[in-house]
Amino acid sequence: MNAAVIDATIFAELQDAAGAEFVAELVGTFLEEAPGMLAELRSARAAGDGERFRRAAHSLKSNSHTFGAQSLGTMARELELRGLAADAAQDAAALDALEAAYAQVAAALREMNHG
Amino acid sequence: MANAPARLLVADDNKVNRLLLQRSLQLQGHHVSLAENGRVALEMLAREPFDLLLLDIAMPEMDGFEVLEHLAKNLRLRDLPVIVTSALEGMDSVVRCIESGAEDYLPKPVNPVLLKARIGASLEKKRLRDQQKELVRRFATREVAEDLDASGFKLGGRRLEATVMFSDIRGFTTMAEAMAPEETIELLNTYYMLMFDAISGHGGVINQMIGDGLMAIFGAPLALADPCGSAVRAAQEMLEMVALFNLEPDRKGKTPIQIGVGIASGSVIAGYTGTDERATYTCVGDTVNLAARLEAHTKAAGQAILVDGATQAALGAAVATQALGPVVFKGKTLAVEVFSVGAA
């Protein structure tokens, strides 16, 4: 597992507290919900809606930290705190990077779920 | 310390957060319901009883701050403990939550051990508050309890118009001497239960019980449309209750109870007196003294209910009264017109 993608200690603590079986289900829920949050970020950016943009980034940040996806969480946090950038191209680049990071997280979580 | 199972409501728009909180709380043995935003949470709170609310702040439709505002305005819900769980950053949000009435604030991701400790502390505080409320309810009426609650147990007074009633059992001390102590207490409890029903049923508030005597106020702390009429009708019902009580089979062969009631109306100074730890709603002033004198005078007058001129004037023709003429009471320089009221 890529240590930079998922913090193994945080993930193990979550499994300890909530039960491994439950965490597997919760990962499934996250993998269902997260693409919607990413899409929401894109659509809020297109609509110029800073409030929706922040809220979607906030949700993604919160869930990333739950599973120990710290670097994805940090990227989402930056978007939450910054809000919409004055330059739309800057947000487009940031969202590309965020989606790429999410793809890695999703792959790592799927692997851990089957592991 | 394990928490006793409680009914908890989790309000969070994020499904992962909702499910994880639900899981943590269920593992602690609680019953958990879920709401996906503030509006749904308020609807559920209006429908069913909960012991505690775990509230997210950033939610669509209605956010956590708005929920806190709604709860603060709702008499039934404003004591519901709320623990805010949020990933919002900055001390501002925390301060705003606490100022809006949240009991505690837990940052997300929520640490399960911390969650358990905070919930335990909140539920314990709620239990103590409920216990305090129950005590107030037992010794005051619902109206006084709510008024006390609404005023934040503020001591202080105001001058207002009210009708004051005193009542006691004639010759109770002599009766009690001939009875077993248990029987005396049982008799008093039955008597108080009947009197409470009659007085509360007409909007009165009992604020003092001393031995076999009681004092009640009509028209304060909450206004009544017709405090004089309410007090007199309560007194008539009290007489009926006592008459029925005397007819009960287990009262056969025992001295029938007789009560005397004195009622006066006018200006009183009302408020909560005492200390922060122990306060009682009370009324003082000439009107209160007069009601007490009238009650004491019922025996000499041979009447069950005596009222002053102000009360009699407010009754109009609806209630039959009989003028007994002026009486000079102890401690008073001027004579007072006294009227007797018959049974209903």
**Mind listing the domains of chain A with CATH numbers?**
8-114 (1.20.120)
Task: Out of B139, B159, B194, pick the residue that ends a domain.
Answer: B139
Say yes or no for a CB contact (<8 Å) between B15 and A33: yes
Q: Is the pLDDT confidence value at B54 over 90?
A: yes
Task: Out of B139, B166, B182, pick the residue that ends a domain.
Answer: B139
> What pLDDT score does A1 carry?
46
Task: Out of B90, B118, B139, pick the residue that ends a domain.
Answer: B139
The residue in chain A having the minimum alpha-carbon distance to the alpha carbon of residue B57 is A55
> What pLDDT score does A63 carry?
96
Closest CA to B139 of B208, B185, B76: B208
Give the tokens for residue B3. 């928490």
Q: Is the pLDDT confidence value at B257 over 50?
A: yes
Select, from the ranges A2-16, A52-66, B138-152, B323-337, the one with the highest average predicted confidence (pLDDT): A52-66
> What pLDDT score does B274 carry?
65
Question: Are B198 and B304 found together in one domain?
Answer: yes
Look up the CATH number of the domain holding residue B211. 3.30.70.1230
> What pLDDT score does B276 carry?
59
Question: Are B160 and B128 found together in one domain?
Answer: no
Q: Is the pLDDT confidence value at A13 over 80?
A: yes
Number of domains in chain B: 2
A46-77 as b/e, with b when 16 or more CB fall inside 10 Å? eeeeeebbbbbbbbbbbbbbbbbbbbbbebbb
Query: Is A63 touching B (CB cutoff 8 A)?
Result: yes
CB B343 within 8 A of CB B239: yes
pLDDT digits (tens, 9 = 90+) for B1-20: 445 789 999 999 999 999 99
Question: Are B12 and B129 found together in one domain?
Answer: yes
Task: Give the residue-averaged pLDDT of A67-88.
Answer: 94
- Residue B1 forms part of a structural domain: no
Helix H segments across chain A?
Answer: 8-18, 20-47, 50-67, 70-82, 88-114
**Residues pairing with B261 in the sheet:** B167, B305
- Residue B160 forms part of a structural domain: yes
Query: Is A43 touching B (CB cutoff 8 A)?
Result: no
Q: Is the pLDDT confidence value at A18 over 90?
A: yes
> What pLDDT score does B135 carry?
63
Question: Are B128 and B232 found together in one domain?
Answer: no
| B20 vs A26, A33, A55: nearest CB | A26
Task: Give the residue-averaged pLDDT of A74-82.
Answer: 95
Give the tokens for residue B234. 């309560």
pLDDT digits (tens, 9 = 90+) for B136-163: 655 555 666 666 666 655 556 778 899 9
pLDDT digits (tens, 9 = 90+) for B227-236: 999 999 999 9
Say yes or no for a CB contact (<8 Å) between B58 and A55: yes
Residue numbers of the domain that contains B56: 7-139
| Coil vs helix vs strand at B30 | coil
- Residue B146 forms part of a structural domain: no
Query: Is B88 touching A (CB cutoff 8 A)?
Result: yes
Q: Is B157 exposed, middle or buried (0-12, 13-18, 19+ CB in 10 A)?
A: middle
Question: Are B132 and B176 found together in one domain?
Answer: no
Task: Give the residue-averaged pLDDT of B167-180.
Answer: 85
Question: Are B215 and B277 found together in one domain?
Answer: yes
Task: Give the residue-averaged pLDDT of B175-184.
Answer: 84
pLDDT digits (tens, 9 = 90+) for B111-122: 888 899 899 889
**How far is CA B275 from each of CA B149, B156, B256, B272, B281, rounded to the nearest angstrom?**
15, 11, 40, 9, 12
> What pLDDT score does A115 carry?
60
Question: Are B312 and B171 found together in one domain?
Answer: yes
Question: Strands, DSSP E only, in chain B?
Answer: 7-11, 31-35, 52-55, 82-86, 104-107, 156-169, 205-210, 213-218, 259-274, 279-284, 305-308, 321-327, 336-341
Higher pLDDT: B129 or B143? It is B129
Question: Are B64 and B92 found together in one domain?
Answer: yes
Closest CA to B196 of B143, B118, B124: B143
Question: Which range has the worst mean pLDDT, A17-26, B141-150, B165-174, B263-272?
Answer: B141-150
| A29 vs B19, B27, B112: nearest CB | B19
> What pLDDT score does B200 carry?
87
- The mean predicted confidence, pLDDT, of chain A is 93
Higher pLDDT: B238 or B343? It is B238
Question: Are B297 and B336 found together in one domain?
Answer: yes
> What pLDDT score does A66 carry?
95
Say yes or no for a CB contact (<8 Å) between A29 and B60: no
Question: Are B123 and B244 found together in one domain?
Answer: no
ipTM, two decimals: 0.92
> What pLDDT score does B1 carry?
43
Select, from the ranges B71-85, B166-180, B277-291, the one with the highest average predicted confidence (pLDDT): B71-85
Task: Give the residue-averaged pLDDT of B71-77.
Answer: 88
Question: Are B119 and B157 found together in one domain?
Answer: no
Query: Is B58 touching A (CB cutoff 8 A)?
Result: yes
User: B23 vs chain A: nearest CA distance in angstroms?
Assistant: 7
Question: Are B330 and B190 found together in one domain?
Answer: yes
> What pLDDT score does B335 carry?
87
Look up the CATH number of the domain holding residue B106. 3.40.50.2300
